[in-house]
Structure formats: C-alpha cells, structure tokens
Structure 1
Amino acid sequence: MEARIAQVAVKAGVSIATVSRAFAKPDLVSPKTRKRVYEAAESLNYSISRSATAMKTGHSFRIALLVSEDIATWFNSRLFSGLNAVLSTAGYDIVIYQIETPEERRGFFETLPVRRNADAVIVSSFAIEADETRRLRSVGVPIIGINPPVPNVCDASIRIDDRGGMRQMVEYLISLGHTDIAYISPVITTRLSHSAEARALGFRDACASASTSIRSRELFFDERSDSSMEQLADRIVDLGEDMPTALCCYADLGALPLAFALQRRRIDIPGRISLAGFDDATYSAQYGLTTMHQDPRRLGTLAARRTLDLIGDESVQESSASEREHDVSSAIDETNRHIVVNLELMPRLTTGYPIRR
C-alpha cells in the first residue's frame, strides 16, 4: 500500500510542506533535506503525480533549449551536459528544439505562449528579436541566452567574448613576428545570426591596431562540402611564395582538418605555416593545436542556475561564490544578469616564429 505524504514527512523529519516543495520546486530545498525526503519516499513506496504537481504549481517542469546545430556537436553536447547536471537535479526536463531558419524561430515564439509547455527558454548561440522576448515575458516565461549575439534582448545571458578572444589570438600571432596572416572561415549559408561571426571582427581589430603593418586576408570555404578543406588546402598551396605565414581559423573544427590536409601536401606546421584555432574542442590538445579555450559545460551550469533564479522570481543581484571564480570576468552588468566568461589562450605546437623569406 502506498504511503501518504504525512508519513514521508514524519520519516524524513520535516514538515508536509517541505515534502511537497521537495517534489514541486526542488531548487528551493537544500540538497541535504531533499535527499532525506527522497530516501524516505522511496523506502515508503511514496510517489507523486508530476502532472498533478504541474497543475497545482502552474509549472510544466520543462525547459526549452533552442539550438541551431545538431545536439551531438562538440559544443552542444557539452553544453547540454552542464545544463542537465543542474536542471535535472532541480526536477526539470530539457526539451530540445533545433532551429535552422528565422521562420522556424518565429514559429516557436508564436506558439509557445499558447501551449505554455515550458517554464523557461534557453537560446544557444544565435540571435532572437526583441518582440519574441516581449511575447514570452507577457506570459511569464524568461529567456536565457548562451553566447547571444545581442545579450540585452535576453532576460539573462552567459557568454564568451568571441570578438575579444579572436583579437587576443591574432595579437599572439603578431607577437611571434607574423605580419602576413589569413583568417579562415566558412561562407555564411544560414539566415540566423550566430555569435561566432563576431570572431572575424576580432581578427580585423587586431590587424588594424597592430604597431607594424599587417597583410591580412580572409579565406572562405563551403562547410557543406565534404572536400571543403582539401579544396582550401589546394588554394593555399597554390599561393606558393605568396602563402601567408600564419592561418587563424574561426574554430578548431575547421583548423584540425585543414592541418591534416596541409600536412598531406607536405606543408610543415609550424615550420612553413603557423596554424591557430578557437574553442579547444575534441582532440585539439592531443594534436597540439594552438587555440582559445572555452568550456561549454561551464556555460551550461551557469545558464542553468540563472534559469532557476528567474523561474523562481528570485533576485540575481548577488552572484554566488562559484560565479566569482577565476573563469568569470568582471564584465558583469549592473543587474548581474549578463555575465562574460573568460577565455584562455592555449599556445601549443602548431604556432611558432615565421620563416624568413
């Protein structure tokens, strides 16, 4: 026979209200107390209807995560891991929506207020519009941005500085003596605006502000093609003596296959050409790729905590001690709702001093 809530409360040594809160809003109950309640409930074979709790509290216990790429990508999979580590503990499920066009994005924001089947929306790495934010605010659903191109459109955001990070990388290459540098990026084929597009601006910033004259170039490839990096490597090799001494890739997922393609063409890295990436993605450290390190899982945990704050109508004026750690920048706005997480330059084996011509 299934136990009643009062029996669980007695066994756990807490009030009936605390037992109810542990299931309805677990983020408001301390981990130690929550554990006692759950253990007591399990030992007594007590269960609670999630749908009944949702009706009573007005919460769906679902968080909508909007991504523009497959969830299995390096960034998204680690981001999801960080989000889930916090949100699942608090009793929330994450529902993933892959958004690839502005029409799909607008459709989502038009229908969500009607369905009201999410307590918050997390948008990863692409831009949303102000009217979409207002639409959700009207029904009390907050929007949290992760690497949003325009942070202030969101109710809260956690991001890296794509532009500043790429500028730091290029300045590092210039400090090694490189004055002929090419920026490698894909041709933009999506109509959504993505945060990584700002990295090209950082490249231009560093070249324009250098104390010495820099020859800068931008080389593009079509990432939809299976042989895009082979074709790009051929174009670079065909430059002969006009080949740049350093290549700065928009992301490691472009830098690594390009490195392999160049080495198959007997181009020594970093002897003939230095190569740098951005992200510190899978296998970058093992290969020895110079890159900018970011931690998507950390972004996810920070964003999840912000999400719980906003769902609970709790103040986010005071940041937790964990958010004052070394990897969180002082670039925090007055309300502490928009946080910039530090990047770290990782000088490795693929960059060196330029050869003399």
Structure 2
Amino acid sequence: MPLREAQKSSQAKSPAPCQAQRQTSWLHFGAPLILFVGALVPFIASSSLKLSSHEIQKPQPPLTIRIQKPLQVKSTKPLSIAVDPVDEVRHWVNFYSTTGRGTFQRWLNRSSERIIEIQKILASQGLPKDLAYMVMIESGFQVNAVSPKKAVGPWQFMKPTGKRFGLTINEWLDERRNYSKSSVAAAKYLKVLFQEFQDWKLATASYNAGENYIKRITRNHDTKSFWRLSRAGALYDETRDYVPKFLAALVIAKAPHLYGFKIPSPTINKADTTHIWVPGGTHLDLIAVTAGLSPKELRELNAELIRGYVPHYVSQFRIQIPLKASRPISAYLRRTIAARERTPDSNSTF
C-alpha cells in the first residue's frame, strides 16, 4: 500500500497554472520521455496540455532546464519498463517536480542505500530492474513503514501475502522489514502477477489492489488496458493513481538531474557490512554499546527483529553488523557464550 507522504498536499486548490508553467511542465516531462521512450512527437509550446488546478498547490517559480543541444542517449539510463506518455503520468511527473519535490528528494536519498541490492534480486528472478522503484510509491524506502491497513516494510506486504511468499512473521521476527528477504518475496509475487496478466501496468496494479480484483474488473469491462479501466472509473482511487505514480517516479529517478534533483551518494555500502550468528538471548543494544556502535544503527540493519533481541528459546540467529565492528562483537560473543557455558541454567541476556 503506497505511503502518502506527499499526496495530501496535492489536493489543495490553487490558481490555474500560467502559460509559462504549462511550458515548463512539458520541458520537465517531455524531454526525458522523448529520450527514454522514443514515444513522444515534437510539440509546440502552446500545446493544449491541461493541468488540473490541484496539481500545483501554489504558484511555483519555474524550474529552468536549459538545453543547448539535443540530449545524448549515452547520458541517460534506458528504461526496462515501457512508460506511456499519457496525461496521468505527466500529472505526477509535474507534481513530484513541484509541490512534492521535497518528498521525492527524500525518496531518492533513501533509495540510494538499497536500490542496487533490490535490482540484483529482481534480475535474479528474471524481472526488470526498474520494478525496484515501486518501493518509492509503496513505502518511500522506509524499512519500518506501516500503513493504516497494517501493510509493513519497504514492499508493504500484508501478513497473509507475506507468508504466502515465504516470509516469517511472528511475535519477535517480521521479515517484511528485511530488505533482502522482502525483495525476494516481492519478486516472486510480481513474477506470478506478470504470468497472469502479461502486462506490467496490470501486474503492478494487482500488486497494489490484489490479483483477484484486477482479474474481475478486466473480465467485467472486457479489456486488459489499464488506462481504459482507469478512465472508465473501474479502479479504486488508490490503484488508479498507483501505476502512473510509479511510472512517473521511474522516469524521474532514472534521470534526476533533468528535473533539477540532487543525485545522492549511497550511505550504506553492502561491502561495509557482514553477517554473524548470535545465540538466543542476544540483545542488539547491548552488543552495539560493546562495539562502540549506535543502537539505532544496529537496529536499522536488523529491523526484522521487532523487539530488538533474539529470544532465549531460539538457538541462534544471523544478524547484520558493520564490518568495522566484527572483531569487537565476535570477542564479546565468545566471552558471553563462555560465561553461559559455565552457568548452563542461566538465562542471561547478551
């Protein structure tokens, strides 16, 4: 279920955009799509593009993109998901580039930490890497995101669906909060959805609304066109917006500089972390302090441990730690395991 960090602000009424704003919105969206998709034809500045009054909360200074010469294909990344240059996508590109600009920059910043890892998992399942940008719309790349409907984690799995695709969810462990494991589950689910619909717009809509719902409305309306279903009012409002939001996020995220966004540097490098097995009774905060780490840092790396510790009745559990802390943590665990062996009836917490 998508996180609505910015959607509410888009509902405020405002004066109709001026001609310069219309022209800017074409530049924001048109130029990259001509480049990426090759589906737009040349247009004139006085085009009949209509922007609804709620797209821009208040008059915005135009974001100028000066193009001195035609953009070169080599300066961009190709799209692996086809993006239709329709008004619904254009609306959300304009929104994320203006009113929702701050929110989208935060999504970009967070995505830099995990996007490569998620893309590798998707590719290993034979899926397009660009599906990784669904996480922007699902959770804004927040590992602990919880929706009003109790969907959890970066991929916003409901409990039954998470368990259906192999995630463990119990009183102390919730693998929906684990980036790697939830991405594997999401890849399996998306593969099933694509096999059913043979169309990525319908597959992603099904991820949001459920495959049985999308099956039913495609049958009732005798069409497998997402846009026809959307314009016929057949979809939930959330699902109607979900697909164009994802496509708009994909277009911007593949070339953020074209929209004036800062390109973030990753703050988490997987090469800087490692895994270690710990016994039951291990508390993350205690080993963090012992190793000179922030408890918050260790909890974020192991968000699936929802209580922050491994219960005593679990024999051992694999946690992720910063590579720099592997020696002090290993030494600490050896000492505490030796102490427990000397007093085998003890239930002390590590």
Q: Same fold (TM over 0.5)?
A: no
- Structure having the higher helix fraction is 2
Larger radius of gyration: 1
TM-score normalised to structure 1 length? 0.23
TM-score normalised to structure 2 length? 0.23
- Structure having the higher strand fraction is 1
